[in-house]
Amino acid sequence: MKGLIISLMLLTFLGCSSAKPSGSNISVGHVPSIPDRENNIEPQPVSGKTAADFFRDEKIYSGWNLGNTLDSHAAGEGDETTWGNPRVNQTLMNGIKAAGFDIIRIPVTWMGCYDEDREYRLDEHRLKRIAQVVEMANKAGLKAIINLHHDGAVENASKDIGWLSINKARRSKEGYHEVTFQFLRIWTQIAIYFRNYGDWLMFESFNEIHDGNWGNSMFTLMLPQFDIINEWNQLFTDIVRHTGGNNTNRYLLIPGYVTNPKLTLGQFFKMPKDSSPGRQLVTFHYYDPYQFGIEGSRANWGSDADKATLDGDFAPFKEQFVDKGIPVIIGECGAVLQLYPDNPEREELARKSRLDYFSGVFGTAKKYGLVPVYWDNGATTGKGEKFGLFNRNNGQPNSPDSEALIKAMINAVR
């Protein structure tokens, strides 16, 4: 009881100190002192279909992430090759399509690529490069997604990495206004620059926004943050629609708090109101169990219990969203490569389990009408997370094992 009372007291305090958009002068109609940059491409045709019909008719079953590339950053500035991957080329995009993937998620980190003295005016070179990459994807026959990625990254609960800080936003009205106004300005410029692109290009509001605890904070303490996530998703929707052109009906990906599947299914996640019905999608990330998917400390996966857990995690999304005409994208999923040079038996177990896991995740996603998008960060060596499956220079699988994993994913959804 004592713990509950303390929790409620803290919730009351945070609720009072957390800023809300009411009374703020933040408006999607904000006019900057210098006109936002525009792309001079001719308006491309759009289908006019709902997202559910578009995904069905275009046979969008699975996807791949261009990770650790345009989302890489150092010293507060987003870049393309900072984290060791080469510049994106058409051959890579062609290889992703040839492997059988239908959609590519292109994470983008925008921090440092704007002028704070000019209302966060985005760098023209950055916009042009993102445009070049999405056009490569389109030329290869891939649908594409762009977002705000590590702009919302945090090192821990007391130290932000990016500017899109939910901690800063929840602590004061001034902090909320500062962060939310920048969110408005960055997304307005992205939306304007890409508004003539066809509906093969989709927008995702942000990546894994959280307070530094990855959704493991005391639940009552996260309630104000759930509100802010819902508010930012609503603002994102309003911004894109307000910019007009093809953005009037563009498909928008809506994530929940830290893209956690259970929190996305929970009662505090709210879909934004949208002036264009049927054009929204829900997205979440999946690397469970953590010890196998991310940490690489567990070599085995594939028991009846493992498969039942996977089924139980995915099944609710069909009833809550897919059956209501809202497509669901698993925006990131996968399991790291585990290497045990001194233990060949354990390494072989991990290799076979990873193959079973890929087939299981993609097959179960297909069963419930979800679209899985593999997280590939290009890494195959070192002590970090090794998710790389493709050679980024030639677009081919980087090993026979990677080729088998790719085929397992594609075969599972066909």
Q: Tell me whether residue 96 is in a domain.
A: yes
pLDDT at position 25, please?
60
Choice among 26-30, 42-46, 241-245, 311-315 with the minimum mean pLDDT: 26-30
**Residue numbers annotated as active site:** 208, 332
Q: Helix and strand tally (H, E) in the chain?
A: 12, 14
What average pLDDT score do residues 14-20 get?
37
Q: Cis ω on the peptide bond leading into residue 372 (within 30° of 0)?
A: no
Q: Residue 250: pLDDT above 70? A: yes
Report the share of the chain in percent with pLDDT over 90: 90
- Please give the average per-residue pLDDT across 218-238, as a whole number: 95
Whether 379 maps to a domain, the answer reads yes
- The predicted pLDDT at position 20 comes to 42
- Cα-based angle 148, 152, 158 (whole degrees, multiple of 5): 175
Task: Please indicate, yes or no, if residue 40 is contained in any of the structural domains.
Answer: no
What does the pLDDT look like over 256-274, one tens digit per residue?
A: 999 999 999 999 999 999 9
Q: Is 338 domain-assigned?
A: yes
At residue 18, the pLDDT reads: 39
Q: Identify the CATH number of the domain in which residue 99 sits.
A: 3.20.20.80
Please indicate whether residue 6 or residue 49 has the higher confidence score (pLDDT): 49
Q: Is 386 part of a structural domain of the chain?
A: yes
pLDDT interval class at 10 (50, 70, 90): very low
What tens digit of pLDDT does each residue of 170-181 get?
999 999 999 999
Q: What pLDDT was estimated at residue 75?
A: 95
Domain presence at residue 1 = no
Q: How confident is the model at residue 158, as a pLDDT?
A: 85
Is the confidence at residue 148, as pLDDT, over 70? yes
Rounded Cα–Cα distance for residues 146 and 105 (Å): 6
219-242 vs 173-193: helix axis angle to the nearest 10? Answer: 40
For residue 158, is it within any domain? yes
Question: Which pLDDT score, from 0 to 100, does residue 26 have?
Answer: 81
* Whole-number pLDDT of residue 3: 36
**pTM for this entry:** 0.94
Asked whether the predicted pLDDT for residue 14 surpasses 60, the reply is no
- Average predicted confidence (pLDDT) for the chain: 93
Total domain count, the chain: 1
Query: Within a domain: residue 153?
Result: yes
pLDDT at 1: 33
CA distance 190 to 130: 10
Determine the structural domain holding residue 76 and report its residue range. Answer: 49-413
Reply yes or no on whether the pLDDT at 81 is more than 90. Answer: yes
For 188-206, what is the mean pLDDT?
98
Whole-number pLDDT of residue 17? 36
Name the residue type at position 34.
Answer: I
pLDDT, tens only, 295-320: 999 999 999 999 999 999 999 999 99
DSSP-assigned states of every residue in 197-265: S-TTEEEE--S---SSSTT-S-HHHHHHHHHHHHHHHHHHHHHHHHT-GGGGG--EEEE-GGG-HHHHH
Taking the C-alpha atoms of residue 163 and residue 169, their distance in angstroms, rounded to an integer, is 10
| Angle at alpha carbon of residue 237, lines to 236 and 240, rounded to 5° | 85
Q: Which residue pairs from 215-219 have beta carbons closer than 8 angstroms and sit at least 24 positions apart in sequence? A: 215/257, 215/258, 215/260, 215/263, 217/157, 218/7, 218/10
Least confident of 22-31, 133-142, 364-373: 22-31
